[in-house]
């Protein structure tokens, strides 16, 4: 039995606009081991969310499609399943929490009503009379103060942190094997953010689930992740264990991003290192390596050929950069 | 000598309850008795969580709203009660850059018209406007080809540069940066921060830098003020406040910032939720942080601690500092 819970291989997800095809996710491969946290980091528009939505196939229905690749979850390919089979996995074995808790909760239902929906769908062994007690326990698990009073509340009566906790409590109801957390703390204040991160960590240990943590902030991902995937322009440019990435980032983009962090003991008036230029738009990616116009180490080959993924060690780090072309692909 | 000084500034907002109950409006203290002084050519960082009154303070300074009480001095002149006409020449010198460059630039104006607007408002000669715009574009590091474009054709970082160029147009002395880099991506954020530092050195600008990202504030600010529920609870030179915070709230804030290189949040000292004291009533007059403070005593409940200076630079409002 493999240790890999989720294994994405060469995933490609495209948008169809007029007569153009835009690959929002292009040749993405990554894996999430059981009971581990993988951080997916990148700047806005790089395809983090689209990658996550591809896993559960919650993509916009009209103009977006997974065109190739493989998504193995628990040794079955999610792309081969029909809708019914997929529904038994989505929301049950793979749960999702989103960035903005206030837009994800139904404003006209109380906390109890919306949580009950999930309980009756996914926890049929719990009898109707025990629902309330179970929901209160879930809320308590998610660190809600005085859960007995809060079950009857409407979302607008809760603070931002409480709403996110309700979202987490709801996501935990089916005891998922994988939790996809898409920027779970971005909308929250820094003190609340710290609490939510700790909560995720504890829930992970308690229920032995894996987390795919999506964020634009290295500092947040660094708190939880065992592995980190760095995304740029629809591709993963580096996939590596947390330790190795922290001590030795390989891809020029990863190095550049880590240098941009106003983190070290800098005296004010000093200067930050920057990555020159702008993130390219999805409809006008440069040919060759997508990072080459901004890369300080650029050479001829980068401008002409797209680098494949090179493996620096047995499994990771994986780096998409010609600088490592003498390693195996 | 301070460029801008706020003395006991207070601002209330009326909150009307219900649709028909116009007469029973409730007052919310957005900013309460704030004293702040900005030294010329320095950066003052203002930190606090959402809803603590940071942006209200920014709007008060640029006189977009009027305070309920207190005085604002700009270059030693009391500007609180000035009428719009008298204040106009000063408005040139006090400018603001907003958080969201998407909504603070008119989508129907070209970049050159956006930057020209403040110049036209202050009746700059037509001939000079053109050359001034080009100069400004160069200062903020934007290519001239963007002049004829619309905001939606620019990226977030470029748009924020336009916002900065517009603030600089009238040779401002004080620029209020209200979460000016918060919506930018990491690599772009670093570029804009460097730009702000360069401009400050070159033109001796004074910044009030409002942000919730503690690292960014530490990077750019000379002095920092920590705000909590409408009051400033601690202020002082940035490095001193960050290394030796005195107020329990500042300590909590600094302990909560996640670090890339260290797993500092998974330790046991961070509680799951704010254990809050509930023994307070509506007309509570004690310390604002009483409910969440680990050190609070009876005294904190009964009276509000005054803001006191620990030394000439560093001040805090707390009864029990060690």
What does pTM read for this prediction?
A: 0.88
Say whether A261 and B264 touch across the interface (CB within 8 A): no
Residue A268 confidence (pLDDT): 44
Higher confidence at residue B270 or residue A65? A65
B206-241 per-position pLDDT tens digit? 999 999 889 899 999 999 999 998 999 999 999 999
- In angstroms, the separation between the Cα of residue B203 and the nearest Cα of chain A is 14
CB contact under 8 A, B265 and A256: no
Chain A: residue whose CA lies nearest to B195: A271
DSSP-based three-state secondary structure for A137: helix
Contact B49 A275 (CB under 8 A): no
Q: Which of B49, B155, B193 sits opposite A272 (nearest CB)?
A: B193
Strand (E) positions, A47-159?
64-73, 76-77, 94-97
Nearest-by-CA chain B residue for A200: B266
Domains and CATH numbers, chain B: 4-16+26-93+170-246 (3.40.50.300)
Disruptive mutation site among B142, B161, B266 for chain A (greatest number of A CBs within 10 Å): B266
Confidence of residue B243 (pLDDT cuts 50, 70, 90): very high
CATH of the structural domain A4-93+176-324, one choice from 3.40.50.300, 3.40.50.150, 3.40.50.10490, 3.40.50.410: 3.40.50.300
Distance CA(B122)–CA(A64), nearest Å, equals 50
How far is the alpha carbon of A1 from chain B, nearest alpha carbon, in Å? 31
Please give, rounded to a whole number of angstroms, the shortest distance from the CA of A122 to a CA of chain B: 27
Partners of B12 in the β-ladder: B29
Looking at beta carbons, which residues of chain A come within 8 Å of B158?
A: 278
Structure tokens given for A248: 């030795």
CA dihedral B296, B297, B303, B308 (to 10 degrees): -60
ipTM: 0.83
The residue in chain B having the minimum alpha-carbon distance to the alpha carbon of residue A199 is: B272
Closest by Cα among A83, A84, A42 to A61? A83
Give the gap in angstroms from C-alpha B275 to the nearest C-alpha of chain A: 8
Which of A43, A262, A268 minimises the CB distance to B222?
Answer: A268
Q: Left (φ > 0), alpha (ψ -120 to 50) or beta: where does A328 sit?
A: beta
Contacts of A269 in chain B (CB under 8 A): 197
The nearest alpha carbon in chain B to A195 belongs to B272
Angle between helices A190-207 and B248-256 (to 10 degrees): 50
% of chain B surpassing 90 pLDDT: 54
- CB-based contact B186 A266, cutoff 8 Å: no
A223 to B258: CB separation less than 8 angstroms, yes or no = yes
Residue A314: DSSP 8-state: S
Comparing B265 with A67, which gets the higher pLDDT? A67
Q: What share of chain A is helix, strand, coil (3-state, %, to 5)?
A: 35, 25, 40
Cβ contact, residue pair B260, A145, below 8 Å:
no
Asked whether the predicted pLDDT for residue B265 surpasses 70, the reply is no
- Residue A174 phi/psi, 5-degree rounding, is -75, 5
Question: Taking CB atoms and an 8 Å limit, are B273 and A217 in contact across chains?
Answer: no
> What is the spatial distance between Cα A236 and Cα B189, in angstroms, rounded to a whole number?
22
- CB < 8 Å to B261, chain A: 222, 246, 263
* b/e per residue A160-185 (b: at least 16 CB within 10 A): bbbbbbbbbbbbbbbebbbbbbbbbb
A198: chain B residues, CB-CB within 8 Å: 265-266, 270, 272
> In this predicted structure, what is the pLDDT of residue B111?
94
Distance from CA of B201 to the nearest CA of A (A): 9
DSSP strand pairing (B174-178 vs B206-211): parallel
Per-residue pLDDT averaged across B155-159, rounded? 88
Q: Name the residue in chain A with its Cα closest to that of B48.
A: A189
Q: Is there a contact between A272 and B261 if contact means CB atoms under 8 Å apart?
A: no
pLDDT for A213: 96
Is residue A179 within 8 A of residue A209, CB to CB? The reply is yes
Residue pair A262/B215 in contact by the 8 Å Cβ criterion: yes
Does pLDDT of B293 surpass 90?
Answer: no
Pick the more confident residue, A262 or B92: B92
- Alpha-carbon gap, residue B132 to B134, rounded angstroms: 5
pLDDT score for A267 = 47
Residue B204 CB-density burial (10 A; 0-12 exposed, 13-18 middle, 19+ buried): exposed
| Intervals of chain A under pLDDT 70 | 1-2, 263-270, 329
């Amino acid at each position: 039995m493999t240790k890999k819970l989720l294994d994405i291989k060469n995933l490609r997800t495209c948008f169809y606009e007029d007569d153009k095809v835009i690959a929002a996710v292009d040749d993405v491969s990554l894996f999430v081991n059981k009971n581990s946290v993988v951080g997916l980091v990148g700047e806005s528009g790089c395809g983090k969310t689209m990658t996550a939505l591809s896993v559960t196939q919650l993509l916009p229905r009209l103009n977006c499609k997974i065109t190739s690749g493989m998504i193995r979850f628990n040794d079955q390919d999610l792309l081969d399943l029909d809708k019914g089979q997929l529904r038994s996995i989505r929301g049950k074995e793979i749960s999702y929490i989103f960035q903005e808790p206030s837009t994800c909760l139904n404003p006209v239902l109380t906390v109890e009503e919306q949580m009950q929906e999930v309980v009756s769908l996914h926890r049929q062994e719990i009898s109707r009379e025990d629902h309330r007690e179970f929901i209160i326990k879930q809320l308590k698990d998610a660190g809600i103060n005085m859960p007995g009073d809060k079950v009857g509340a409407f979302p607008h009566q809760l603070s931002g942190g409480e709403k996110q906790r309700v979202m987490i409590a709801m996501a935990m109801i089916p005891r998922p094997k994988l939790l996809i957390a898409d920027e779970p703390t971005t909308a929250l204040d820094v003190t609340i953010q710290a609490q939510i991160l700790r909560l995720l960590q504890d829930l992970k240990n308690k229920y032995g689930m894996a987390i795919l943590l999506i964020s634009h902030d290295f500092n947040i991902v660094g708190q939880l992740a065992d592995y980190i995937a760095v995304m740029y322009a629809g591709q993963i440019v580096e996939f590596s264990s947390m330790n190795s990435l922290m001590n030795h980032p390989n891809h020029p983009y990863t190095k550049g991003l880590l240098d941009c962090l106003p983190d070290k003991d800098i005296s004010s008036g000093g200067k930050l290192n920057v990555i020159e230029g702008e993130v390219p738009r999805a409809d006008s990616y440069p040919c060759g390596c997508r990072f080459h116009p901004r890369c300080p180490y650029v050479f001829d080959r980068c401008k002409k050929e797209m680098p494949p993924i090179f493996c620096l060690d047995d499994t990771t780090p994986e780096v998409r950069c010609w600088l490592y072309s003498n390693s195996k692909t | 000598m301070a460029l801008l000084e706020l003395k006991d500034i207070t601002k209330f907002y009326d909150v009307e309850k219900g649709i028909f109950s116009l007469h029973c409006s409730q007052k919310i203290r957005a900013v309460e008795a704030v004293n702040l002084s900005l030294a010329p050519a320095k950066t003052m960082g203002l930190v606090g969580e959402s809803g603590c009154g940071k942006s209200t303070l920014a709007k008060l300074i640029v006189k977009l709203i009027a305070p309920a009480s207190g005085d604002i001095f700009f270059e030693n002149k009391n500007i609180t009660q000035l009428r719009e006409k008298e204040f106009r020449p000063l408005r040139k010198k006090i400018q603001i850059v907003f958080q969201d460059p998407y909504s603070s630039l008119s989508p129907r104006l070209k970049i050159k018209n956006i930057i020209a607007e403040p110049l036209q408002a202050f009746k700059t000669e037509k001939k000079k406007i053109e050359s001034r715009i080009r100069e400004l574009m160069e200062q903020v590091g934007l290519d001239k080809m963007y002049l004829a474009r619309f905001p939606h054709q620019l990226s977030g970082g470029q748009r924020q540069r336009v916002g900065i160029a517009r603030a600089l147009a009238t040779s401002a002395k004080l620029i209020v940066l209200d979460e000016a880099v918060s919506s930018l991506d990491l690599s772009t954020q670093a570029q804009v921060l460097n730009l702000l530092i360069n401009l400050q050195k070159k033109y001796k600008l004074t910044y009030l830098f409002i942000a919730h990202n503690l690292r960014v504030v530490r990077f750019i600010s000379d002095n920092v003020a920590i705000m909590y529920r409408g009051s400033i609870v601690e202020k002082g030179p940035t490095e001193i406040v960050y290394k030796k915070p005195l107020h329990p709230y500042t300590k909590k804030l600094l302990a909560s910032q996640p670090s890339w290189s260290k797993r500092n949040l998974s330790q046991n000292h961070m509680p799951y939720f704010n254990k809050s004291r509930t023994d307070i009533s509506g007309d509570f007059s004690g310390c604002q942080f009483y409910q969440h403070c680990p050190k609070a005593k009876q005294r904190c409940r009964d009276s509000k601690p005054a803001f006191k200076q620990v030394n000439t630079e560093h001040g805090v409002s707390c009864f029990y500092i060690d």
